[in-house]
Chains A and B, each alone.
Chain A
């Protein structure tokens, strides 16, 4: 029987092939038949999680809490040195120079990425903005958030910092970063579900050693990572507690 692997829909589009290559590598190394299923939207991912279809997942920190507490998932590894950060951007010509300048009914563009939205809304709190007094503009991806800003359809945009950094120079020239988060302790994690947990140690060993292997190192490059780093259970619990404090 094959197991199902998925990646949080906020993966960078140019890493899509990298995840397929990784899946092939992981199948060979673990001798498990692993099927990779990519979802474009969180709604579809959450439905699959609810139906217990997933066994392995590169999870957004927001989902990690639910996966551990409600679905019995355990952490395996995280990408070494990587953390999730968000930025608040405005049109370069905007007269907004400080978050504190923002007023209720500000038009805020964001994607359905839950942790980026959470970090972004926290950065808007100093202006007394919250989900109840903004005009939300839900966008399909981070490029469309940028486009809303360029067209003057949104006053501010919440963008994953990595996605912002990867926007074309042409787009970035027309935008300005108002705030960039420096949280450092929130990250995506590769997690293993209950059906596969008897192989947790094996998977952890394979992944932690991946950068030492020539082929493995190439696969990591395709994902934009330098190495995998083991996540201790307490580290994951700490991040879940953190997400809990932020989610209010």
Chain B
């Protein structure tokens, strides 16, 4: 279940946007210009079901996203989707993993408090007995130069 973001959760001045996901559902998101720097040495790890519903998160995921573990488990991974991320990036992600391949890219994620953080993300299908039973996503600290390239590129993909 994904619900609209609430003004009382937001820290600082915010803007509103409505995101429409690939399944036609939409969500009102509230976002600010406050960046949380990616901590050195940590990995954010999560797994999802084949439908992209979060089934496991590690502590770094909880810390960086601002959501509690209970809020994350059972939510679609798109709970982190930031309005500055072009839909084309996620289409490429899904097209790639559905072919059974590994996807890698730079992603601006939305926090519960409306802030954001950049990650270098890698997603792979979890194949068990020849069947895809879910996906594992690992995020690590991106280089500033790659983030700057994405800041210039992503607005051109809308």
Name the interface residues of B127-158: CB closer than 8 Å to any CB of A: 128, 136-138, 140-146
**A242–B144 contact, CB under 8 A?**
no
Partner of A126 from B43, B136, B144 at Cβ < 8 Å: B144
Number of A-B residue pairs at CB separation under 8 A: 66
Inter-chain contacts of B20 with A (CB < 8 A): none
Q: Does any Cβ of B come within 8 Å of A12's Cβ? A: no
Q: Does any Cβ of B come within 8 Å of A99's Cβ? A: yes
**B41–A180 contact, CB under 8 A?**
yes
Inter-chain contacts of A179 with B (CB < 8 A): 40-41
**A128–B145 contact, CB under 8 A?**
yes
Q: Does any Cβ of A come within 8 Å of B27's Cβ? A: no
**A241–B136 contact, CB under 8 A?**
yes
Complex: A242 Cα to B44 Cα, angstroms: 11
**Most chain B C-beta atoms within 10 Å of own C-beta, residue among A127, A179, A183:** A183
For chain A, what secondary structure do more than half of its interface residues adopt (helix, strand, loop), or is it mixed? helix
Chain A residue total in the interface (Cβ 8 A): 24
Residue of A with least CB distance to B128: A237
Q: How far is the CB of B141 from chain A (nearest CB, A)?
A: 5
Inter-chain contacts of A238 with B (CB < 8 A): 47, 126, 136
Q: Does any Cβ of A come within 8 Å of B28's Cβ? A: no
Q: Does any Cβ of B come within 8 Å of A2's Cβ? A: no
**B143–A128 contact, CB under 8 A?**
yes
Residue of B with least CB distance to A184: B58
